[in-house]
Amino acid sequence: MVDAVELSIFGYANGATLWHFRSHDGAAAIVAPSYFDPSADMLRAGDFILVNLIGEKGTGGGLLAVESVRDKSVRVAAVAGPFPPRAVE
């Protein structure tokens, strides 16, 4: 589950927000269903999330797109990085 303290606005323009998020959770966990649900009131479809993954062997990163936010449920999909090719509903 997302730690809202680690999710912050990186930039905003033309109705879309670029977020920064860092996590010790693995890439598969981050794109799993319900991971970003606690942040449903902050995220909107069309937003992007720049992710820093922090692991025992170093750091990595990637980019997620927020595909939809409905009924407090957030769906994201990988754009770039070490994430599975498609988020699971």
The pLDDT tens digits of the residues spanning 2-54 come to 765 689 999 999 889 999 999 888 888 898 889 999 999 999 999 999 999 88
- Position 87 in a domain: no
Beta bridge partners of 84: none
Domain that holds residue 22: 4-80
- Position 47 in a domain: yes
- Position 9 in a domain: yes
- Position 58 in a domain: yes
> 1 versus 36: which is more confidently predicted?
36
- Look at the chain and report how many structural domains it folds into: 1
- Position 89 in a domain: no
- Position 85 in a domain: no
- Position 15 in a domain: yes
Query: Which pTM value belongs to this model?
Result: 0.84
